[in-house]
Structure 1
Amino acid sequence: MVSSVAVLTAAGSGTRLGPAGAGLPKGLVPLAGEPLVLRAARGLAAAGCLDGVVVTVPAGSLAEFRALFPGDVVPGSALPVAVVVGGATRQASVAAGLRGIRPLLASTGSTSESGACADVVLVHDAARCLTPPEVIRAVDAAVRAGRRAVVPAVAVTDTIKQTGPTEADGAAAVTATLHRAALRAVQTPQGFAGLLLEDAHAAGAEHGGDEATALSDDAGLVEAMGEQVYVVPGHERALKITTPVDLALAELLLSTEEGA
């Protein structure tokens, strides 16, 4: 039976979230009273297509994160959870999550048909905790159907300019205006054949521990190997909560839905 596991990254800090994130890891920042990481995990469980979730967290907050998952499952579900220490970069954290998949599946009696840590691996960000379950299912289904690397994305509505270096006064010269019809804003979860993602992380490991050289998403690692990445429709609800404005928008969205 094909196994599918999510790596949920929550090892970042909440410093850019202003007062709401002061002194907290980003995954523990509350959104309408519930930590981002817990909302994201509930969304993964609601998709109904996963065999487990590995959550990557800061080393100093391991106990706090584990306390969110009593019985080592996502609350309100039977989906198994393992909480592991992440790395100094997102890339390093995902690599740590991949290493945590085999023990998690072994503890549940599940296996991988392909010999990978899991046949399908979804990489998700706690900061995109409002991603609808149908997006998660669509990414998982596309990988199961044979697309070895899949990302959800939405059309770009802003005009995008490419610029040169920023000058002393803060200005930068425009070097090109990109044709937005061909551009997409990528979201998570990103989905991969497990063997491919393990190979991509092994190939990029030399640069994965430094923010200056690590890649910001796993699709980039796969692209660097010459592998084709495919896009499936994302959703506006899958916004990334990075700033106080993002947090306020997410809270407004939740309050609007609850009042509907």
Structure 2
Amino acid sequence: MSESSRTSTRLPVIALLAAAGRGTRLGGPIPKAFVTLRERSLLERSLQAMLTSESVDEIIVLVSPDMESYARDLLTKRGLLDNPEGVRVRLVHGGGERADSVWAGLKAITLNDATPDAIVLIHDSARALTPPGMIARVVRKVSEGSTAVIPVLPVADTIKRVDGSTVVDTPNRAELRAVQTPQGFLLSELIAANEKFFADPNPGFIPTDDASLMEWYGAEVVCVQGDPMAFKVTTPIDMMLAQRITDEAEPTIFEVPGD
């Protein structure tokens, strides 16, 4: 998206890219966001997909304080901080938990007085092969009037609800979906939900994603089609799959989406 087409969007689009986690399940000496696939880190790939989607005006990368200098040097070297697309990219310190990181990112967003709201995307840097077209699809759905939008895929496995080692019941698989990121929201509504959550000393639940927080807040969450390539690199097996994919052919994160 050109500079003129970005500024003509109904609402500005700001992406929060979560890269502050340690990635303990993946293992390795460095945080997961900085592990490389074919000489490009997961963070670089996720950020590039956001740029290539032609859907965002600003990207806030959430990093741990001890990795800020490393991340800044890496993104500068790769031409992603000062990028040809003209998208503002900046680094903000994340928190100890993912929810804390997102809240820190939301508080770092500043809007012009003439712009009362925006669209915000929350994306895991570990979903490094996410197609740009899927990112654009989420933005488009929020632009059309939805408060909260998530990309989903059908569930292939049968799911059991258990109590210890005992099966309690089997949910109808046709009603289940696997949820991915980026998830898109109206900024004002997501901020309101976070304010309510962090002001409550006993909210009664721990949000596993931002959509679950919006559900708790009472917002309607709607779905769009996800993409198998947007899988999250969490375990060594996930990393092996991502390596095999990128060894066979570079995914389309560097191609302008057609939808």
After superposition, residues 1-260 of structure 1 pair within 5 angstroms as: 1=8, 2-18=11-27, 21-22=28-29, 24-70=30-76, 73=81, 75=83, 77-102=85-110, 111=112, 114-116=115-117, 119-164=118-163, 166=164, 172-206=165-199, 214-258=206-250
CA drift at 1:16: 1.5
**Number of positions where the alignment pairs a residue of Structure 1 with one of Structure 2:** 239
* DSSP 3-state at the match of 1:191: strand
* DSSP 3-state at the match of 2:21: coil
1:169 is aligned to none
For structure 1, which segment, 6-15 or 26-35, has the greater mean C-alpha deviation from structure 2 after superposition? Answer: 26-35
Contact 2:37 2:246 (8 Å CA) reproduced? no
Amino acid at match of 1:157: A
Q: Give distance in 1, aligned partners of 2:231 and 2:217.
A: 28
1:193-251 Cα distance to aligned partner (Å, 9 max, x none): 1111111111111479xxx9541211011101111100100000000000110011011
> Do the aligned partners of residues 126 and 143 (structure 1) sit closer, same or farther apart at CA in structure 2, a change above 3 Å counting?
same
* DSSP 3-state at the match of 1:78: coil
CA drift at 1:78: 2.4
Q: Percent identity?
A: 38
Amino acid at match of 1:16: R
* DSSP 3-state at the match of 2:149: strand
Q: Give distance in 1, aligned partners of 2:74 and 2:116.
A: 31
CA drift at 1:14: 2.5
TM-score normalised over the length of structure 1: 0.86
Amino acid at match of 2:91: V
Contact 1:154 1:185 (8 Å CA) reproduced? yes
Q: Give distance in 1, aligned partners of 2:93 and 2:200.
A: 19
Q: Give distance in 1, aligned partners of 2:229 and 2:97.
A: 25
1:117-173 Cα distance to aligned partner (Å, 9 max, x none): xx1000000011111001000000000100110000100000000000x2xxxxx10
TM-score normalised over the length of structure 2: 0.86
* DSSP 3-state at the match of 2:218: coil
Q: Give distance in 2, aligned partners of 1:128 and 1:233.
A: 16
Amino acid at match of 1:34: R
Amino acid at match of 2:33: G
Q: Give distance in 1, aligned partners of 2:80 and 2:101.
A: 20
CA drift at 1:254: 1.4
Amino acid at match of 1:12: G
**Cα RMSD between the aligned structures?**
2.2
1:10-57 Cα distance to aligned partner (Å, 9 max, x none): 000032213xx22x1221111222111111000000100100100101
- Unaligned stretches of 5+ in structure 1? 106-110, 167-171
Contact 1:82 1:100 (8 Å CA) reproduced? no
Q: Give distance in 1, aligned partners of 2:81 and 2:36.
A: 20
